[in-house]
Structure 1
Amino acid sequence: MRLLHLVVICSLIFAAAYVYRIKMDSTARVERVLQLRAEIREQREAIAILRSEWAKLDAPLRLQGLVERHLPLKPLNATQYDSLKNLPERPPRFTRPDNPDPIGSMIDTIDAINEEPPVTGSVPRPEDQQ
C-alpha cells in the first residue's frame, strides 16, 4: 500500500512539474507574441511616417519650385523644330513589299541560301532521327 502511495505522490509531483513547464512555455510564447505585435505596430507607424514624408517630397508644387530653381529649362520656340526636308532618307528595305513580316522574310532568305534548316536544341539533327 505504501508503494502505491509513493507511486501516486511521484506521479502527482511529475504531473505538477509538467503542468508548470507548460504554463511557463505558454507564458513565454504570449510574451513573445505581445513583443512581436508591439514591433509590428512600431513598423507600421514608421511606414506611415515614411509615406507622409514621401508624399511631402513628391508634391507637384514642391517639385515645380525645385525645377524652376535648379534646372535651366526654357520654353520651346517654334524655330527649334526642323523642317521635313532636312530629315535623312529612309533606310533601305531588306524585305519584300508583299511580306508583312520582315523577320520572317529574313529567315526565309537565310533558309533559301542554306537549303537546310538550322539545328537547334529543340530540333534533332536529321541523322539522329533514324
Structure 2
Amino acid sequence: MRIIHLLVIGALIFAAAYVYRIKMESTARTERVLRLHADIREQRDAIAALRSEWAKLDAPLRLQGLADRHLPLKPVNGTQYDSLKNLPDRPPRLVRPGEPDPIGAMINTIEAATDADTVTGSVPQPEDKQ
C-alpha cells in the first residue's frame, strides 16, 4: 500500500511541476504578445508622425516659397520663341499613306474569329437538334 501512496504522491508532484511549467510558458508568451502590441503601437505612432511631417514638407505653399527662394526662375514673356530649325525631327512613319493600318487589320481578324457560333475548347459543343 505504501508503494501506491508513494507513486500517487510522485505523480501529483510531477503533475504540479508540469502545470507550473505550462503556466510559466503561457506567462512568458503573454508578455511577449504585450511587448509586440506595444512595438506595433510605437511603429504606428512613428508612421503617423512621418506622414504628418511629409504632409508639412509637401505643402504647396512651402514648396512655392522654396522655389521662389532657391530657383533663379523668371516669368515667361510672350515674345520668347525659338526657331523652327531647333525643333526635333518628326518620328518616322510606320505605315505609308494609303496603306491599311496593321493594328486595325489584326482587330478585324480577331473580331471575325470570335463569332457567336464559335465554340472554344473550354465550352462543350451543343448537341445538334434535328
Q: Answer whether TM exceeds 0.5 for this pair.
A: yes
Amino acid at match of 1:68: D
> RMSD over aligned Cα, in angstroms?
2.6
Larger RCO (alpha carbons 8 Å, 6+ apart): 1
Cα separation, 1, equivalents of 2:39 and 2:92:
65
Calculate percent identity across the aligned residue pairs. 76
Partner of 1:123: none
Q: Give, in angstroms, the shift of residue 96 of structure 1.
A: 3.3
Q: Does 1:25 align with 2:25?
A: yes
**Alignment CA distance shift 1:80-1:5 (3 Å):** same
Cα separation, 2, equivalents of 1:95 and 1:29:
71
Give runs of aligned pairs for residues 1-130 of structure 1, distance below 5 A.
1-82=1-82, 87=87, 90=90, 93=93, 95-97=95-97, 98-101=99-102
Stretches of structure 2 lacking an aligned partner (at least 5 in a row): 104-130
Cα separation, 1, equivalents of 2:88 and 2:57:
44
Cα separation, 1, equivalents of 2:62 and 2:93:
49
| Aligned residue pair count | 103
- Using the size of structure 1 for normalisation, the TM-score is 0.67
- Using the size of structure 2 for normalisation, the TM-score is 0.67
Cα separation, 1, equivalents of 2:26 and 2:57:
46
Q: Give, in angstroms, the shift of residue 38 of structure 1.
A: 0.8
Amino acid at match of 1:100: D
Stretches of structure 1 lacking an aligned partner (at least 5 in a row): 103-130
Q: Give, in angstroms, the shift of residue 88 of structure 1.
A: 6.6
**Alignment CA distance shift 1:88-1:56 (3 Å):** closer
Comparing 77-86 with 51-60, greater Cα deviation is found at 77-86
